[in-house]
Amino acid sequence: MQQGRAAAVGVDRVQQVERVVHRHVEGRADSPDRSDEQPTDLAGHLPVERQQRCAQSRVADRVEPQLHPGDKIVIDFGTATTFDVVDWSGAYKGGIIAPGINLSLDALVAAAAKLPRIAIEAPANATVIGRTTASQMLSGIYWGYVAMIEGLLARVRAEIGRPVTVIATGGLSIPKIGATDFGYRVAAQFGLRMVAPRAALVPLTFDGAAWAPFAQLAGLALPVLIEAGDVDATPKQRKKAVVFAEDLLFTHKGLSGPAVLQISSFWRSGQGVRVNLAPGIDMAATLLAAKSSSKKLIANELASVVPSRLADAWAGTDAALQRPIVDATDKALLNLADRLADWRLTPTGSEGYKKAEVTAGGVDTRDLSSRTMESRQPGLYFIGEVVDVTGWLGGYNFQWAWASGFACANALVASK
């Protein structure tokens, strides 16, 4: 999960760090990998100070480390990278919050218009000095992140003054930063019900040949209305459909942007999506009025209500639209208006966990207490993304991570 990446009550081992920071952090971990270790009692009761509300939201990341002796530093790689320090007795000592690696890249690209978006991956060699813009950006993002992790770990260790164990956590989304299904495996081990995990808040993709006419629109954005479901659903059936009014972004592979990320959480494989490309505009009236007073090409008239690139691409898909609007039949114009107001298409898939901002599904809420987040297995708690609760864009998943963590922390404190 990229927003509010709260892992399960259990957390993964320090070996997961290697996926992000090569071998630099792993080499400094004081604890050996225990990926084959069977979870035991995961309900470590942590004395967390009530005023540490933000810290309490991350209590789940500190429960499974009770299996490891000594002091611990729990690192959670998400939208924010968080470091939580827990002492040998299980007492929370404090922590650090820093920007996540993807957030850092997003901010850099957004603020510097001439810098390209790059993929975050391990550099081909250990050379730090880049020769191209892309390699220089990768060095700054990747090795800068490595240096941040190393530097903060060194400072925390020095401040603690004794050896500590470093444990890194994550969820299924964004596998390059150490995504893991550990929480799901723990839930399954204790017989808890699961809702099948799937990528959500994720771009949707379409068949290469069918998408070819629109691939040229990559980078184009416009406000739309979008819904998911049966493309042949009747108006009555559509009354219960969830509709988002957000910006849509064309990509080389399909559709993205806030509108598509939002609807992807409701879309299921095999379903279609319906898009109104000109919300708030009576396309039929607009086109028929233009026919009576204009000799411009249909694409040119269409460009008055939708972006010109979209108008050109749309007109290019139908020979009947490649003419002056005055020469078009009313039937052709009404059909065009209907398609623009109700564009029906069926995705072939999504870009998956590598691009998903959140993982939908997870531990079934029927097996958890909504008051304490304790499961049917006494002493076993789940919070955040590992639970089958998924929010919209806009911080809702962060809020769920904080709120569920806060409820869990209060329950743990009250049980003392």
In three-state form (DSSP H/G/I as H, E/B as E, the rest C), the secondary structure along the chain is CCCCCCCCCCCCCHHHHHHHHCCCCHHHCCCCCCCCCCCCCCCCCCCCCCCCHHHHCCHHHHCHHHHCCCEEEEEEECCEEEEEEECCCCCEEEEEEEECHHHHHHHHHHHCCCCCCCCCCCCCCCCCCCCCHHHHHHHHHHHHHHHHHHHHHHHHHHHHCCCEEEEEECCCCCHHHCCCCHHHHHHHHCCCCEEEEEEECCCEECCHHHHHHHHCCCCCEEEEEEEEECCCCCHHHHCCCCEEEEEEEECCCEEEHHHHHHHHCCCCCCCEEEEECCCCCCHHHHHHHHHCCCCCEHHHHHCCCCCHHHHHHHHHCCHHHCCEHHHCCHHHHHHHHHHHHCEEECCCEECCCCCCCEEEEEECHHHECCCCCEECCCCCECCHHHECCCCCCCCHHHHHHHHHHHHHHHHHHHCC
- Assigned token pair, 60: 């789940």
Q: Which of 302, 321, 350 is the last residue of a domain?
A: 350
Residues 239 and 176 reside in one and the same domain: no
| Same domain, residue pair 113 and 185 | yes
Domain contains 3: no
- The residue among 302, 327, 350 that closes a domain is 350
Q: Are 153 and 68 part of one and the same domain?
A: yes
Dist. CA 226–CA 261, nearest whole Å? 11
- Encoded tokens for 177: 């930063």
Q: Considering just the CA atoms, what is the radius of gyration of the chain in Å? A: 25
Is 0.75 topped by the overall pTM? no
* 8 inside domain: no
Q: For residue 66, is pLDDT > 60?
A: no
Residues 291, 172, single domain; the answer is no
In a domain, 395, yes or no: yes
* Cα 19 from chain centroid (whole Å): 18
Please give the Cα distance from 149 to 81 (Å, whole number): 9
Would residue 6 count as lying in a domain? no
Encode pLDDT of 288-345 as tens digits.
Answer: 999 998 999 999 999 999 999 999 998 888 888 889 999 999 999 999 999 999 999 9
What's the distance, Cα to Cα, between the start and end of the chain in Å?
A: 31
Query: What was the pLDDT predicted at 171?
Result: 54
> Do 33 and 162 fall within a single domain?
yes
pLDDT at 40 over 70: no
Residues 187, 69 share a domain: yes
Domain membership of residue 27 (yes or no) is: yes
Q: Find, among 189, 217, 178, the residue nearest to 311 by Cα.
A: 217
**In 3D, which of 16, 55, 387, 350 has the Cα closest to residue 197?**
387
- The residue from 327, 350, 373 where one domain ends is 350
Query: Are residue 279 and residue 165 in the same domain, yes or no?
Result: no
Rounding to the nearest 10 degrees, give the CA dihedral for residues 132, 135, 139, 140: 60
Q: Is the pLDDT of residue 70 over 70?
A: no
- CATH number of the domain within which 32 lies: 3.30.420.40
pLDDT of 35 over the 50 cut: no
Q: Are 406 and 369 in contact (CB under 8 A)?
A: no
Separation CA 153–CA 246 (nearest Å): 41
Output 120 or 271, whichever has higher pLDDT. Answer: 271
Residue 88 vs residue 20, higher pLDDT = 88
Same domain, 27 and 126: yes
Shared-domain flag, residues 268 and 312: yes
The whole-number average pLDDT for the span 54-58 is 40
Residues 227 and 116 in one domain: no
Return the pLDDT at 107.
Answer: 86
Residue 48 — pLDDT band, cuts 50, 70, 90? very low
Range of the structural domain that residue 281 is part of: 204-350
pLDDT digit string (tens) for 332-373? 999 999 999 999 999 999 999 889 988 899 889 999 999 988
Closest CA to 142 of 19, 15, 307: 19
CB 320 within 8 A of CB 332: yes
Counted domains in the chain: 2
pLDDT at 83: 84
Torsions phi, psi of 323, nearest 5?
Answer: -160, 170
Residues 140 and 22 placed together within one structural domain of the fold: yes
CATH for 250 = 2.40.30.10
pLDDT tier, 4 (very low <50, low <70, confident <90, very high otherwise): very low
Q: Is the residue at 43 inside a domain?
A: yes
The pLDDT tens digits for 202-259 are 999 998 888 988 999 999 999 999 999 888 888 888 888 899 999 999 999 999 999 9
What does pLDDT average to over the chain?
77
**Residues 303 and 395 grouped into a single domain:** no
Nearest to 404 by CA among 1, 2, 9: 9
pLDDT at 412: 74
